[in-house]
Structure 1
Amino acid sequence: MAVFWEKLMDSQQLVQLGVLIFGSLSVFILIFTVTSLSKEKEVEKRYSKAIESRNLRAPRNEATERGAGRKQAVADTLSSIDNEKRKNKRVKLYVRLKRAGVNMSVQTFYTLSLTLGVVCASYAYIVVPTFSPVIFFCIFIVAAFGIPSWILAFLFKRRQAKFVDELTNAIDIIVRGVKSGLSINECIAIVARESAQPLASEFNEIVESHRVGMPIPECFERLCTRMPLAEVRFFSIVISIQQSSGGSLSEALGNLANVLRSRKQLTAKVGALSAEAKASAAVLASLPLIVMTLVNFTNPDYLVPLWTTFLGKFMLGAAAVWMLIGCVIMRKMINFKY
């Protein structure tokens, strides 16, 4: 076995393998980027053509002018929300902490993250002191920046799920309150008092902001920033249009509640249909690590060249890169957008 690894070290296969791996990775990234940009441009062209053809076919009279004005208001609101979303693609850390419901300052978060990185790198050095400094540095980077970011994303998604579960009930409360003669402000205050977390705290932010003079539509726009969900955007659009154009708020919110219930049912159906694919992806992602662990226990000398030779370490790094690419591709395949 050792002779085999020495022959590989003396040959040109190391250079060829490196060129093949990084060349393929570069081509993959280039194709993925070009495809994403072309799809976005194609969608924008179709959207603009549909709007132009609809404007050309629509007859002009007083009723259509009023309908066109309301549609234009909805389009303007959607456009402003989309522009705000594009501006906030790179969200600041304190906003991410607030979204995740973590009551912690940015300085404390960075301190804990760096401490976690130092602890993990030190533990790896104690367990396997023969690793190169590059590996310890990579462990520090992953533990200090990757794991805390993953934890924030996990807490944020869990908080979003709880918020969406309570949002339909909150809209029903507002509809009943408006029908009974209460104002929208009083209905929001009732939701803030009676609902469960995290919806209660978010609506309490709306109540407090409105008390200091902020308009209701702007309060809901800030809610969209704290909770960037499609359901919250729909809610904000309904409130904004009603405040600017008038109309029956109870009827609009009732229709929105029905839409959100249908959307929730669709989410559950998609989750059930994609459960098998997610399980298969988890098995495929964990299988190489499981096999390596079993081989290491049954025949430890078989994998020694992977840890002690330069070619072995290079192959481990290349395998890790391709495993990461495979996990990203499988994740994009099983995460459905609807």
Structure 2
Amino acid sequence: MEMQTLALGFFAAIAVGGLAWVFVYPSLSGDTKVEKRLSSVARTTPTVRQVDRVQRSRREQVEGSLKEIETRNAKQKKVPLNTRLSQAGLDWTPAKFGTLSAVLGVTVLGIAILFGASLIAAAGLGFAAGFGLPRWTLGFLKRRREKKFLAALPDAVDVIVRGIKAGLPLFDSIKMVAADAPEPLRTEFNAIIETQTIGMPLDEACARLYDRMPLPEANFLGIVISIQQKSGGNLAEALSNLSKVLRDRKKMAEKIQAMSMEAKASAAIIGSLPPIVMLLVYLTTPDYIALLWTHPIGRIMLAGCVLWMSAGIFVMKKMINFDF
């Protein structure tokens, strides 16, 4: 009992001492007065400087411009046919494109029937020729035009930077690019000039470049000019940084292409090996391999092989195509 009493008294004394250290000692030692004096000296009046207000306003304008551009791009998920034709560099109307596609499909259908193909096979060939082939050609022309645009865009931005540093307005610098740049850059910058001439602001005219040329680099140019027109700043420095970014992206794309060429060559060899082997076997012993399309089980096996080979080629294509 005595030991318990002594222990309780000891812990009670420690508790009282701790409370006194926390609450009583600061007032006795003068730490509280020192802290109050330091806080009174270090306290600043809550004034808002003009520089902070300007920076906050510019940040809000930049965020608003980026949000507007993201909203506009999100709404343009489904591209109409006339826009796709202009992106491919064709001046056709959708009606003309549809007519030519229908004529091509009917022509291939008639040729397939004349050569003795079944109605289902001829219809499949006609559909592929009338619907798939024209759109694939349209996509091919669009990609080729975009590559030419990307190859000439950094030099065009450098011309604009040099014109601005020489004292020319932005619109006159764009005119210089439109006069001397190769196609399709000349056409796109002429469209900017024509759009601005009819009364549209220059930042909106440059932002519409992304509608005709749906590339991140074109979007970067529109964003830089739009932000500078709304919030001000050194446009020559911003465009110079943009030119550096464009060249770095081009170097990265070429580096990725060089590093993926080995994988592309391997995929091409693996994908072409089965048809080549089938052709060689057919040339040497046609009766041996003819069972694949004459016997019902052979047809099933051939269809399965085509399915698995297509799946393998699709997987390899996804593995060697890089987005950055």
Shared fold by TM > 0.5? yes
1:72-83 paired onto structure 2 within 5 Å: 72-83=60-71
Is 2:133 the partner of 1:133?
Answer: no
1:25-104 paired onto structure 2 within 5 Å: 66-104=54-92
Q: Which residue of 1 aligns with 2:139?
A: 153
Is the 8 Å Cα contact of residues 173 and 187 (structure 1) preserved in structure 2? Answer: yes
CA drift of 1:148 comes to 1.5
Within the candidate set 160, 166, 185, 1:174 is matched to 160
Count of residue correspondences: 277
**What is the one-letter code of the residue matched to 1:119?**
T
When the two structures are superposed, what TM-score results if normalisation uses the length of structure 2? 0.78
When the two structures are superposed, what TM-score results if normalisation uses the length of structure 1? 0.75
Is 2:95 the partner of 1:107?
Answer: yes
- Give the Cα separation in 2 of the matches to 1:316 and 1:162: 42
CA radius of gyration, larger in? 2
Query: Any stretches of 5+ residues in structure 1 without a counterpart?
Result: 1-59
- Give the Cα separation in 2 of the matches to 1:317 and 1:110: 33
With 106-115 and 205-214 compared, the bigger mean Cα shift is at: 106-115
1:1-338 paired onto structure 2 within 5 Å: 66-127=54-115, 129=116, 131-338=117-324
Is the 8 Å Cα contact of residues 113 and 119 (structure 2) preserved in structure 1? Answer: no
CA drift of 1:274 comes to 0.9
Cα gap change, 1:322 to 1:66, in 2 (>3 Å): farther
**Other structure's SS at 1:274 match:** helix
Cα gap change, 1:244 to 1:141, in 2 (>3 Å): same
Is the 8 Å Cα contact of residues 207 and 226 (structure 2) preserved in structure 1? Answer: no
Is the 8 Å Cα contact of residues 82 and 94 (structure 2) preserved in structure 1? Answer: yes
Cα gap change, 1:255 to 1:118, in 2 (>3 Å): same
- Give the Cα separation in 1 of the matches to 2:62 and 2:310: 41
Cα gap change, 1:269 to 1:102, in 2 (>3 Å): same
- Give the Cα separation in 2 of the matches to 1:144 and 1:182: 51
Is the 8 Å Cα contact of residues 109 and 123 (structure 2) preserved in structure 1? Answer: yes
CA RMSD of aligned residues (A): 2.3
With 195-204 and 254-263 compared, the bigger mean Cα shift is at: 254-263
- Give the Cα separation in 2 of the matches to 1:187 and 1:177: 5
CA drift of 1:67 comes to 4.3
CA drift of 1:315 comes to 4.0
Cα gap change, 1:93 to 1:211, in 2 (>3 Å): same
Is the 8 Å Cα contact of residues 172 and 254 (structure 1) preserved in structure 2? Answer: yes
With 213-222 and 72-81 compared, the bigger mean Cα shift is at: 72-81
- Give the Cα separation in 2 of the matches to 1:315 and 1:116: 33
**What is the one-letter code of the residue matched to 2:91?**
N
Cα gap change, 1:293 to 1:88, in 2 (>3 Å): farther
Cα gap change, 1:328 to 1:83, in 2 (>3 Å): farther
**Other structure's SS at 1:103 match:** coil
**Other structure's SS at 2:151 match:** helix
CA drift of 1:83 comes to 3.0
**What is the one-letter code of the residue matched to 1:136?**
A
Is the 8 Å Cα contact of residues 177 and 187 (structure 1) preserved in structure 2? Answer: yes
- Give the Cα separation in 2 of the matches to 1:124 and 1:156: 30
- Give the Cα separation in 1 of the matches to 2:266 and 2:172: 49
Partner deviation per Cα, 1:43-72 (whole Å, 9 max, x = no partner): xxxxxxxxxxxxxxxxx9755665454444
- Give the Cα separation in 2 of the matches to 1:265 and 1:307: 49
Is the 8 Å Cα contact of residues 74 and 237 (structure 1) preserved in structure 2? Answer: no
Query: Any stretches of 5+ residues in structure 2 without a counterpart?
Result: 1-46
- Give the Cα separation in 2 of the matches to 1:61 and 1:118: 74
